[in-house]
Amino acid sequence: MGDKPIWEQIGSSFVQHYYQLFDADRTQLGAIYIDASCLTWEGQQFQGKAAIVEKLSSLPFQKIQHSITAQDHQPTPDSCILSMVVGQLKVN
């Protein structure tokens, strides 16, 4: 991992952490979001930490497992990282 650019290392670590939390206990994702965060889930838009956590916590499945098949991370001009993740979801 050390030979990859820093934005790829950070992005990969974030994706791993995010989906581990999502799979184990979605309510813990509140630590990742801020009040300015936005989420689109199946065409519905949610803004703010509370709205996002409420949506993710209310999803109808109890168990989920993410299987990531590809991820790409790019730096942005404002020193952020844009990540694209592709994979499969296995529920209940």
Task: Say what the pLDDT of residue 92 is.
Answer: 80
Task: Say what the pLDDT of residue 11 is.
Answer: 97
Q: Is the overall model pTM greater than 0.75, yes or no?
A: yes
Nearest partner of 9 among 84, 77, 73, judged by Cα: 73
Q: What CA–CA distance (Å, rounded) separates 81 from 26? A: 22
User: Using one digit for the tens of pLDDT, what is the confidence trace for 46-76?
Assistant: 999 999 999 999 999 888 999 999 999 999 9
Angle at 83 between CA 78 and CA 89, to 5 degrees: 155
Q: What CA–CA distance (Å, rounded) separates 89 from 20? A: 13
* 7 has pLDDT over 60: yes
Stretch 25-32: mean pLDDT:
93
Kindly list the structural domains of the chain, giving each domain's residue range(s) and its CATH number in brackets, ordered by start. 4-89 (3.10.450.50)
Phi, psi dihedral angles at 32 (to 5 degrees): -95, -30
| Mean pLDDT score of the chain | 93
